Every structure is written in structure tokens, then in C-alpha cells.
Amino acid sequence: MDSRSSDTIPGPRKEDVLPDTATAAVKIVIVGGFGVGKTTMVRSVSEIRPLTTEETMTQAGVGVDDNRGVDNKTATTVAMDFGRISISEQLVLYLFGTPGQERFWFLWNGLFEGALGAVVLVDTRRLEVSFDVIGRLEERGVPFVVAVNTFPDAPRHPLESLRTALDLPTAVPIIDCDARRRESSRDTLMALMRYLHSLAVQRA
């Protein structure tokens, strides 16, 4: 018999336990190029302590990773970020942030299994890093919205101009977002859920 007192074994935190009213859970993936704010978004909006797999960047990435525009970045996601947010008493979203560096994109296959939709985070300082990301989603047939993360030193452009630059279909929502702010990140997720609902209605 284990002589340890049961009160020495930590139980689940109250915030980590799903509410009894939850009846549906949806997997959402947050994608984008290197340094666009995926980990920041998961951290800002998650109602539980997020799981992150950030590692300190080393000389091994020099000449391999494209860090133009994010020269001051010192850590990077090497597997995934994970968080959770309750959209309503019944609906819970599980959030999976993907690694942005191309050498870790092989991990995307597993992360996209069972995903209902995706948020593509975009940095206008490095718009070109979004092209391959969007292309991969389109190839997989994963519905997505595009969120333009508002970095302080990033140039501002009309959203419709960005839509043209990214060659987005008219139906795909594109919105402004500040990934550091919980309310803004939540609004982005709500925009995705509304889009997914509209697609479901069209297919019905």
C-alpha cells in the first residue's frame, strides 16, 4: 500500500476541468510563418495554462531559418502549442499552434488530423511567408480565416489590398488582429466559427 498521503498528490486544477455543460469540442489549428505570433495567440486566449514547446534559438538555425523581420526573436516552437477556450457553455475549442519554421512543417500532418478549421496569422512585414502556408491549407481542403497580426512597426494596408496580394477567394474572411490581446484573439476565433457555420449551412 502506498504510504503517501493522498493530499500530497496534486489533482487537476479547477480551470483545467471541462464544464459539465460542454457538449461539443472542436479542434482548431493556428498556422503561419516563423514569428507571426502563433504562440502569443494561444497564450493570450487560452483559459488554461497553455502547453508550449518553445526552445531557445541557437546557431544551428543560422542559414536555415529565415528570421528576416524578427531578428530579436530568441525562442521558437519546435513541436506545437496547445490551449483551450470555451466559446459558450456548450462549445469548447482546442487550439493547436503549429511550428512556423519550414524544417518543422513535417509535424503539420499530425496536427491537422481532425481539425475543423484554421486561423492563418499574417505579418505584413513578411507577407511572402504566408503563401506556402495558405497553399498547404487549400491543398488539404481545410477552411480558414486570415488574421493580420498588428505588430507595432508593421506597415498597414487596407484588408482588401492584402486579400489581393494573398490571392484569397472573396469568401475567405480576412480581419485585423492583435494576438497579444485576449479579446482580439477571441474575436478571431469567433470569426472562424461563423465562417465554418456559413459553410455548413451552404452544404446543407
Give domain status of residue 28, yes or no: yes
Give domain status of residue 6, yes or no: no
> Could you give the dihedral angle defined by the CA atoms of residues 131, 28, 38 and 46, in that order, rounded to the nearest 10 degrees?
160
Structural domain total, the chain: 1
Residue 156 buriedness (CB in 10 A; 0-12 / 13-18 / 19+): exposed
- pLDDT at site 149: 96
In this predicted model, what pLDDT tens digit does every residue of 24-51 receive, in sequence order? 889 999 999 888 999 999 999 999 998 8
Q: What does the block give as the cell for 179?
A: 494576438
Specify the 3-state DSSP secondary structure of 150: coil
Neighbours of 160 (CB within 10 A): 11
Give domain status of residue 163, yes or no: yes
- pLDDT at site 68: 56
Domain that holds residue 33: 20-203
| Sign of the CA dihedral running 29, 30, 31, 34 | negative
In this predicted model, what pLDDT tens digit does every residue of 174-200 receive, in sequence order? 999 999 999 999 999 999 999 999 999
Give domain status of residue 3, yes or no: no
Give domain status of residue 10, yes or no: no
In this predicted model, what pLDDT tens digit does every residue of 153-170 receive, in sequence order? 899 999 999 999 999 999
Question: Which one, of 112, 124, 107, lies nearest residue 176 by Cα?
Answer: 124
Give domain status of residue 13, yes or no: no
Mean pLDDT of 142-154: 94
In this predicted model, what pLDDT tens digit does every residue of 85-121 receive, in sequence order? 998 888 899 999 988 566 555 566 667 889 999 999 9
Give domain status of residue 40, yes or no: yes
CATH code for the domain of 25: 3.40.50.300
- pLDDT at site 21: 63
